[in-house]
Structure 1
Amino acid sequence: MKPLPCVIVLCRPEESRNIGSVCRAMKNMGCVQLRIVGEKKDFDETQVKTLAVHAPEIWEGAEFFPPSVEGLKQALADCSIAAGTTRRMGQKRKSWGMTPEQFASFAASHENGLAAAVFGNERTGLTDEELECCTLALNIPSSPDFPSLNLSHAVQVVAYSLFRAFETRGRGYQPISLDRLNALSENLSGHLSHIGLYRHSGKEENERLLTGILSRAALSEGEAAHLEALFQRIAYIKTGSDQDR
């Protein structure tokens, strides 16, 4: 079976055994790309492989990144979609979240891009800053009496949804990468700033809104370039009309 075009990203995991269980869950569902925002030396390889059972190659092929927000950005740089798992929503987080099924369907409809599912620390989850690195939030429905899932169980739920969605996928186009998305958002926001939209306040909030909308649109490179040209033209016309007054 061809591996799924998806990566599982673990942010600052603590338990070696949890990583091993994640490896097993991933292999069950055809996910083979594991990225860990953390130092490899901090984990007990024997414990990892014991819990991984027949999936040691997932651990052996894992990529490691510095345990920081910048490290997470590096881990997601080549991804078109990055879904951060969280139970908490709010003004400084994401305003809404997809279910695993919605995320999987969204990822499968644009299969030529790389999709990432991002999971936080076992005890504290993703920080606000880590979630901000993701293009959307992912909420796993669970009982309000005991909503927290074990890390490997959460990975299993999301990986299963991805596996099912890609089983029935159709050919899609390649959406822009997260690096390109961030550059696009900065470009468009720069034009809005140039015409005075952020003269008093609201720049950070509107930039966050713009990035969220663009990420869910899963734009092609051609569409991104067209948007940039459109915003550039709007800024030019607005600046010119102001000078004529």
Structure 2
Amino acid sequence: MISQNSQHRLPVAVILCRPEISRNIGAVCRAMANNDCYDLRIVGNKTDYDEQEILRLAIHADAIWHNARFFEPSVDGLKAAVADSSIVAGTTRRMGEKRKSWGMTPEEFCSFAWTNAEGLIAVVFGNERTGLTDEELHICSLALNIPSSQVFPSLNLSHAVQLICYTLFRAYSRQQYGYKRIPYTAITAAAEHINEYLCAIGLFKHGGKEDNIRFFQEIIARAGLSIREARYLETLFKKICYIKGQYDMSVSQESSAPEMPHAADN
């Protein structure tokens, strides 16, 4: 039996999106316990799973299952599951125009995560058969790719969890204090506010709102901003918007020319 009061607990949440096979969840629990990861979140209904199958594979990591948190099996459910995370990494082997353009290897991700994260790290794993949907991957700040054979690239869910958790476990080091990185909800809010200011000055069209917000979400997440830095950035764009508005008003007033005379006045 593992201790939930472990002093070596990693600030890592493993999030399973719509898992289908109960025994895979049990194997995931054991893989997590091997690497001091105890925060399991499932985007799915608890009643859909066979607890006996899960416990049979979890062995002595059953506490992870019993303490797992469940969220509505939807995109909104995933957003709720990652809301308190400062970095959200989605595992995928597929790249493309509507998905992330590139992905980190586990080693690159660990180096980035432990260097920049001052809060919870969320690693999101998709359904065993279909992986993460485009919408689910869009919620993630970055993509995580596990290199594997081109002939047989598919990994078992628990194996993928084991590889990522083990790499995080090995690379883990003490975090510095006095710096708090913004969580997912604050990243989203900052991106939306910046987009509003840029739309207001006419830099972006409202039709591209979702793409613009997603762009700023990913930039802010990868930059590792603190809450104070994110607020400063928002304020900077707000001031630009205000100054641009004042400038336009002054130009409009100073450059107003007299009306052209009508032909009859000549």
Scaled by the length of structure 1, the TM-score of the pair is 0.96
Query: Which one-letter code corresponds to 2:154 in the other structure?
Result: S
SS class of match (2:239)? helix
| 2:261 counterpart residue number | none
Taking the aligned partners of 1:25 and 1:7, their CA distance within structure 2 comes to: 13
Question: Which residue does the alignment assign to 2:176?
Answer: 171
Letter in 2 for 1:126: L
Asked if 2 retains the 8 angstrom alpha-carbon contact of 1:84 and 1:134, the reply is yes
Residue in structure 2 matching 1:47, options 49, 53, 59: 53
Which residue of the partner structure matches residue 184 of structure 1? 190
Map 1:198-217 onto structure 2 (within 5 A). Answer: 198-199=204-205, 202-217=208-223
> 2:226 matched to which residue of 1?
220
Separation (CA, whole Å) in 2 of partners of 1:26 and 1:130: 22
Label 1:39 to 1:200 Cα distance change in 2 as closer, same or farther (>3 A): closer
Distance 1:198 1:112 in 2: 32
Q: 1:182 and 1:165 mapped to 2: Cα distance? A: 28
For residues 175-198 of structure 1, the C-alpha deviation after alignment (integer angstroms, 9 at most, x for no partner) is 000000000000000000000012
Q: Which amino acid aligns with 2:249?
A: Q
Contact 1:89 1:96 in 2 (8 A): yes
Structure 2 distance, partners of 1:85, 1:77, is: 18
Is 1:116 the equivalent of 2:122?
yes
Aligned equivalents of 1:185 and 1:105: distance in 2?
A: 25
Once superposed, what is the RMSD of the aligned Cα atoms? 1.3
> Quick check: 120-129 or 95-104, which moved more?
95-104
- Residues 1:206 and 1:111: Cα distance change in structure 2 (over 3 Å): closer
CA displacement at 1:200 relative to structure 2: 7.3
1:242 aligned partner: 248
Displacement of 1:12: 0.1
- 2:4 corresponding residue in structure 1: none
AA in 2 matched with 1:175: R
Max radius of gyration: which structure? 2
User: Which residue pairs with 2:93 in the alignment?
Assistant: 87
Gaps of 5+ in 2: 1-6, 252-266
Give secondary structure in 2 for the equivalent of 1:137. Answer: strand
How far is the alpha carbon of 1:78 from its aligned partner?
Answer: 0.4
Determine the structure 2 residue equivalent to 1:137: 143
**TM superposition shift of 1:206:** 2.6
SS of residue in 2 equivalent to 1:109: helix
The separation in 1 between residues aligned to 2:161 and 2:206, in whole angstroms, is: 43
Q: What percent identity do the matched residue pairs reach?
A: 59
Output the amino acid matched with 1:150: N
Partner SS, residue 242 of structure 2? helix
Q: Give the count of matched residue pairs.
A: 244
Task: Say if 1:109 and 1:171, in contact at 8 Å, map to a contact too.
Answer: no
Distance in 1, matches of 2:118 and 2:241, equals: 33
Q: Which amino acid aligns with 2:12?
A: C
Q: Which structure 1 segments of 5+ residues have no match?
A: none
Deviations for 1:39-85, whole angstroms, at most 9, x for unmatched residues?
A: 00000000000001111011011000010101000000000110000
Which moves more between the two structures, 99-108 or 214-223? 99-108
SS in 1 for 2:24: helix
**Whole-Å separation in 2 of the counterparts to 1:220 and 1:78:** 14
- Please say if 1:4 is aligned against 2:10: yes
Give 1:112 deviation, angstroms: 3.0
For residue 106 of structure 1, what is the aligned residue in structure 2?
Answer: 112
